[in-house]
Structure 1
Amino acid sequence: MAKIEHVFFDLDHTLWDFEKNSDLAFQKVFEKQNITIDLDKFLEVYKPLNLEFWRLYREEKITKSELRYSRLKNTFDAIDFEISDEVIDMIAIEYIDFLPHFNHLFDGTFEILDYLKDKYNLHIITNGFEEIQAKKMESSKILDYFDVIVTSESVGVKKPNPRVFEFALEKANANANNSIMIGDSIEADIYGAINSGIKAIHCNFEKEAIENSDFESITALHELKQYL
């Protein structure tokens, strides 16, 4: 890793604790909307559906508005909770409004960013929605660590499309040989980077079994010190 000058991070599920912050945002929305439903039951169904709809969104098979509506509609249908489309649309809007105001980060985020900031140029590449990613980083007080922030919406395609990584390299005045990508998604972050000629480290915080991997993995952010 001696040649590395630029470190690109994913945001959600890598530095910013999306699951914890998302749960809190839904709790606030349901309280505001007086939705009498067991939140844990809702989230148990919602989370795998959300991942599936994000996959479709990443593959350009659904639009952003379809993602935001369908993941909620399908969840409510699955748990037999009757709710109008009007309220679903309101939940979708308020969820996005509330989400960036919760600021939980993964353990070791500030420690590793402080460790890296004087040695490398730090950047963000995220598939998250354009209108809230900077707000998330500002709320959690990590925005100033990063020189370049690239969202998929600003490029017009999503990770793992090589155009996202090419755009980020150009904007950061970097090249593939002196850069590394760190993220949680094997498909979007790791192979997206590797297929663009960029080294990558997988954040496997759930310690899931990975067979025949051809990339490095960490289970906590402080482990990055072994490589950088």
Structure 2
Amino acid sequence: MYRETITDIFFDLDHTLWDFERNSALTFEKILVDHHISIGLDDFLQVYVPANLEFWKMYREERITKEELRYQRLKTVFDKLHYRVSDSVINQMSVDYIENLSNFNHLFPNTLPVLEYLSSSYRLHIITNGFEEVQNRKLKNSGIERFFDQVINSEMAGVKKPNPYIFQLALNRAGVEAQTSLMIGDNLEADIQGAMAVGYHALHFNAHNEPLHEHCKMIHDLIEIKSFL
């Protein structure tokens, strides 16, 4: 349905191509041991995963800083689990998490064949709210950096998705118009509604089993992209 109109495809990275939850779990499996934290990984993640999503929402909405995000998402877990950890250990774990996260590079199923397929006919780009130094390492270490022309991150833009400026910046950097551009991402608010407000077409990768909606088409496996492009 997009074959006749689309020239450029913009992807989100985390939760869309790069399997954030799986790689994050493997990272915590390592650093909990390194810091001698005697909390089971499953117990830790049960609290951390929703807390992290909530703090990222606050970060997108400019209600907390990057430093507050990194500290509070860990502090919240230890407080809820009634596990005493000093601020110095939390701060070091925050650093170690960022340092180790891009060493684990599982991609969502069908990421590579879909990128190979698309790259022969379209220009591909990234728009991410993630931190620049971490996102660049993820792209490089996972072996998908070569597919992307422009990589736009929120630190570069000075704003975060769904702010229209980051989507307009991406168009300007790519030298393309919104009406010939497609955004593919997992977050309805940040990726889909944000891009559509600027005039992009959009395709929602439903990585979180969200309910159906009428904003745009939805897919549950990246291989489904081939039926649209």
Contact in 2 for aligned 1:112/1:221 (Cα 8 Å): yes
Does 2:29 match 1:27? Answer: yes
Aligned to 1:55: 57
Matching of residues 70-89 of structure 1 within 5 Å = 70-89=72-91
Q: Which amino acid aligns with 1:214?
A: H
Aligned to 2:165: 163
Q: In structure 2, how many angstroms separate the alpha carbons of the residues matched to 1:51 and 1:3?
A: 34
CA deviation after TM superposition for structure 1 residue 102, in Å: 0.4
RMSD: 0.8
CA deviation after TM superposition for structure 1 residue 207, in Å: 3.3
Contact in 2 for aligned 1:206/1:219 (Cα 8 Å): no
Q: In structure 1, how many angstroms separate the alpha carbons of the residues matched to 2:209 and 2:133?
A: 31
Matching of residues 1-228 of structure 1 within 5 Å = 1=2, 2-210=4-212, 212-228=213-229
| Unaligned segments of structure 1, at least 5 residues | none
Q: Which amino acid aligns with 1:196?
A: V
Q: Which amino acid aligns with 2:22?
A: K
CA deviation after TM superposition for structure 1 residue 226, in Å: 1.0
Q: In structure 1, how many angstroms separate the alpha carbons of the residues matched to 2:72 and 2:37?
A: 18
Length-normalised TM-score, structure 2:
0.97
Q: In structure 2, how many angstroms separate the alpha carbons of the residues matched to 1:77 and 1:213?
A: 39
Q: Which amino acid aligns with 1:215?
A: C
CA deviation after TM superposition for structure 1 residue 213, in Å: 1.9
Q: In structure 2, how many angstroms separate the alpha carbons of the residues matched to 1:219 and 1:122?
A: 20
Q: In structure 1, how many angstroms separate the alpha carbons of the residues matched to 2:190 and 2:67?
A: 21
Q: In structure 2, how many angstroms separate the alpha carbons of the residues matched to 1:208 and 1:46?
A: 20
Aligned length: 227
Q: In structure 2, how many angstroms separate the alpha carbons of the residues matched to 1:153 and 1:214?
A: 28
Q: In structure 2, how many angstroms separate the alpha carbons of the residues matched to 1:216 and 1:81?
A: 44
Q: Which amino acid aligns with 1:35?
A: I
CA deviation after TM superposition for structure 1 residue 214, in Å: 2.2
Q: In structure 2, how many angstroms separate the alpha carbons of the residues matched to 1:176 and 1:36?
A: 50
Q: Which amino acid aligns with 1:123?
A: H
| Unaligned segments of structure 2, at least 5 residues | none
CA deviation after TM superposition for structure 1 residue 31, in Å: 1.3
Q: In structure 1, how many angstroms separate the alpha carbons of the residues matched to 2:40 and 2:158?
A: 37
Q: Which moved more, 1:218-227 or 1:29-38?
A: 29-38
Percent identity between matched residues is 51
